[in-house]
Amino acid sequence: MGRSHALAYHNSADFEIVGLMNRSTPDLPDALNNYTMYSDFATALRDCQPDLVAVCTYTDSHAEFAIMAMRAGAHVFVEKPLAATIQDAKRVVDEAVKTERKMIVGYILRHHPSWQRLIAESRALGAPYAFRMNLNQQSSGKEWEVHKNLMQSTSPIVDCGVHYVDVMCQITDASPTQVRGMGVRLSDEIAPGMYNYGHFQVLFDDGSVGWYEAAWGPMISETAYFVKDVMTPNGAVSIIEHTGSGSSDIDGHTRVGSLRVHPVRGKDRLIDLPEEPGHQALCDAQAAYVAKAIINDLDLSRHMSDAVNSLAICLAADESVRTGQPVDL
């Protein structure tokens, strides 16, 4: 993600990259090879004095780096999830308010025209909603190593789930009331206490319900790995899976082939979406939004509270997995 966002900033007239930071020596594309590379975050902040910092590290360092950047005077873009705990997420938001810095969280689907259309078509049908969503990834080799590294601090249902819970919350615009989760560790290669398959259900105060499923690893099935479905009393809206290269394809995580709108009365509508953006194009769109938020002094209060809300739901799901008990919100 850091590489993709750096390319977006590199290719935008709104930004000038003053430095890159990575703990190890990364394999960079030619476009990024001429920038000064740092291995220590505090040193990079001191030397570069940036107006904006993009935090694209693993989840456990998001809050620390974001707060350090804002205290140094920089606006912040933070990849999702915002933080590893809800307390840290709230600390980041409080710091943004206190320092009057812009803080944008990497909810990439918010900048995706096809997902915006899914939300609009679903809302037009009316509540209550039943959401069915998942993102399972059959990963091996380098991808499995990345997933194992992620699971040192974040479970699949938290890391990926915040995107899709955020979509649920945008559609229903209701308050979550309870979360119920379950999970299982399907590999001895990940630490005891962590799980690489998870599933949870969330209940909302308008009567809506939803489930989300996420799994990583070489043992994960490719069958029905991509389900994005919304049902209402008046019909359903579904993403029709694009033809991709399988569940490990990063572009496939966001790509939409078409939408099927099924009304209770009348014929189904198939909405073709030919101008489908790829992953890098979505990062470019997100960078444009970051620039807009800073230049136009956008009010990001709802953006930040939404990020905390969706994270709270997914962290409650993780708690439910570990305790075996439902969690009231």
pLDDT digits (tens, 9 = 90+) for 192-215: 999 999 999 999 999 999 999 999
Confidence label for 275 from pLDDT (cuts 50, 70 and 90): confident
Mapped onto helix, strand or coil, the DSSP state of residue 59 is: helix
Distances (CA, A) of 155 to 59, 187, 281: 10, 14, 27
Q: Which of 267, 127, 137 is nearest to 206 (CA)?
A: 127
β-strands 258-263, 197-204 pairing: unpaired
* DSSP letters spanning 238-288: EEEPP--S-TT-GGGGT---EEEEEESSS--EEEE--S---HHHHHHHHHH
The larger pLDDT score, comparing residue 26 to residue 206, is at: 206
CATH class of 112-276+310-328: alpha beta
- Quick check: do 2-106 and 112-276+310-328 share a fold? no
Domain ranges of the chain: 2-106, 112-276+310-328
pLDDT at residue 90, as a whole number: 98
pLDDT at residue 183, as a whole number: 98
**CB distance 143 to 252 below 8 Å:** no
Q: Is the pLDDT of residue 242 over 60?
A: no
* Span 47-72, pLDDT tens digits: 999 999 999 999 999 999 999 999 99
**Fold assignment, 2-106:** Rossmann fold (3.40.50)
Q: Among residues of the chain, what percentage have pLDDT more than 90?
A: 89
291: alpha, beta or left, given left = phi > 0 and alpha = psi -120 to 50?
Answer: alpha
In degrees rounded to 5, what are phi and psi of residue 154? Answer: -140, 135
Q: Is the pLDDT of residue 185 over 60?
A: yes
Cα dihedral 242→245→247→253 (10° resolution)? -50
Residue with tokens 């489908």: 276
**Cα distance between residue 318 and residue 313, in whole Å:** 9
